Copies of this chain bind each other. A is one copy, B any other.
Amino acid sequence: MKTEVIEKLKQICGNDFATNDLSQIQGYLYDETENLIRPEASKECIVVKPSSSEEISEILKYANEKLIPVVSRGGGTGVVSGVIPTRPSIIISLERLNKLVELDEKNLMITVESGVTLASLLEILSNSSDLFFPVHPGDEGAQIGGMVATNAGGTGAVKHGIMRNHVKALEIVLPTGELVTLGGKLLKNNMGYDLLHLIIGSEGTLGIITKVTLRLYAKSNYSGTLVVSFDSTRDAANSVPAILQSGITPRAIEYVERSIAIKAAKHIGTTWPSENGSVDLIFIIDGSSEDELYDTSEKIVEICEANNAVDSIIAESSKEQKRILDIRSNVYTPYKEHVADGLDMAVPPSSIPDFIDDITRIAKKYNTEIPSAGHIGDGNIHNFILTDENGNLPSYYEEFKKELYKTALKYGGTITAEHGTGKTKKNYMSLQYTDREIKIMEGIKKVFDPNNILNCGNIV
């Protein structure tokens, strides 16, 4: 990257906030993508840390004029290489846009700069409000702007939905440098096309998000955790719609294969609470009183028993709740060293049993196993493709993965439910979409970013 570029960026953001020193930019070249599948980052990058939308606007105007690729980077917690600069790029880190703009309790909304982390947002809320924000993708180092750009999901989607459902306004800087505000502190807005919803999930390719207004909700006073065990995935899966149809909407309904749960428990030095059965559902429920919680738990167990549940455990103490949720959070950890790729497919929830049967059969064909756990209430299952015995990508990786993707699509599913397309899934767009749809997406990209400078390589 030319010296004049770094000089220009120092001029915009200050001498301390633009560097191409490899030791300083190293930490900005990768995200949480599994090592074996992540693309190589260009080392010829400049990391710049603007402190305002205006500085970002100046950077983009300059980059757009000089045709320099730009990567906007949030917390770097993504797993699809969305922020890996595969070409020499200006990397805009949003970490200094870390201020609370306004906690507006009267409208049940909060506005933050996009570099505020989820951890900070939760802290602000717990310190100064009885309101809460429901989306939690797991890693609290995620920045709110990144969570919008990737339309983050997580376990709470059964009840509260995904990021899209809660974003009310965005300030963004367009690739051509203009600052625009989309949406507002509004619950309804039908003027023009909804550009707000187009930006959500567009992975930084259409603009850099600088401010986010989120809807907040009243906290539930009580929450509880419930483990119900089954002998088959089918019985477990059949319980889910029956529960939802009865009017109970748990905050989360998680599915874990017992073999995984046992490994995860052992890994963190504890044991899985249930001995019967081979798969488990973990329910997180909330309510306005302990009685309501107990009542809801009873009803869930009753419905599960009607679907052949073989065991159920209500976590009475908060310590026991924490133990179960810690195990759930660690289902991935024992496999970490052996994971080549973590998949993120979703299918219609009712197709989960057939889908899991299919992918188990496919894994057998490749003489491997494919551990499954995930958000069964959303039809979103995470599977791990394991490395070969030498810790490398297995020779069948590409073929195996494509077969799995096609299986999800056969059920009307999606290749990626919540992780996003990024650079690692982009090559599979044509499995899921027609040529005309992909052309439309390319056309949209061009409308926003005529010189194709921003977060190139994601999606289109």
Contact = CB atoms under 8 A, between A and B. Distances in A.
A47 interface: no
Interface string A143-160: 000000011010001100
B437 A180 contact: yes
A433 interface: yes
Contacts of A247: 218-221, 288
A198 interface: yes
Given A198-B194, A219-B247, A247-B220, A184 B108 contact: no
A178 interface: yes
Contacts of A127: none
A106 B246 contact: no
A162 interface: yes
Interface residues of A, number: 88
A268 to B, nearest CB: 27
Nearest to A242: B106
B444 A444 contact: yes
A436 interface: yes
A249 B460 CA distance: 40
A24 to B, nearest CB: 32
Given A197-B198, A419-B190, A184 B440 contact: no
A81 to B, nearest CB: 14
A130 B241 CA distance: 12
Contact of A180 (B151, B347, B434, B448): B434
Contact of A193 (B107, B157, B185, B441): B441
A444 B193 contact: yes
A329 interface: no
A193 B198 contact: yes
A340 interface: no
A440 B448 contact: yes
Top 10 A-B residue pairs of the complex, sorted by shortest distance between their CB atoms: A443-B447, A185-B348, A218-B247, A106-B350, A188-B417, A197-B197, A187-B378, A189-B414, A184-B412, A190-B420
